[in-house]
Amino acid sequence: MNDWSTLDVLKFATEAHTGQKRKYTGDDYIVHPMAVAELVRKHGGSKVQVASALLHDTVEDTSVTNAQVKELFGPEVANLVHWLTDSSKPSDGNRAIRKGIDADRLASAPAEAQFVKVADLVDNTSTIVVHDKSFAKVYLKEKNHLLKIMTKIHGSSLWRDAMQQMKEMAKSFPLD
């Protein structure tokens, strides 16, 4: 099913995230998925990857199901959204345990999903380091770990940009 446009996906994601605001900035939440999608597009991502970037938080943060994503945008988009949706639950334990579960899953994700996840990390970093310096150090350690284990995209221009961003952030937020 490829009879959808990126605009269709954007409209759907915008509606799904209606009323949600971006932490720290108060922007409409859709600003984040749009920024992730733009990074994916800028670095040569496919139409399916751009769509999954727009939808990457819908199953996790809204009432949208992966079945709905599959019905509307096809199995390829739904598969990537599935890989991009955290599998850990609060009942699994503290943040370190949950992020470990999610990291193990991302390490085995297809390259297309890892690519979108790196764009998500880059955009989140730019917000967190400006607005929450105390959390930034924790987040950057998690990001550094993910960049190391998502090996299927090492060497891509997006991964290199993410590594450069980490290098720049290390000046203000040493990882020890």
Q: List active site positions.
A: 60-61
**Among candidates 37, 43, 74, which has minimal Cα distance to 55?**
37
Question: How far is 91 from 108, CA to CA, in rounded Å?
Answer: 23
**Among candidates 43, 41, 7, 34, which has minimal Cα distance to 159?**
43
**Coil, strand or helix at 69:** helix
The tokens describing 59, both together, are: 């199953």
* Residue 101: Cβ-neighbour burial (10 angstroms; 0-12, 13-18, 19+): middle
Question: How far is 169 from 60, CA to CA, in rounded Å?
Answer: 28
**Contact, 30 vs 75, CB < 8 A?**
no
Percentages (nearest 5) of helix, strand, coil residues in the chain:
70, 0, 25
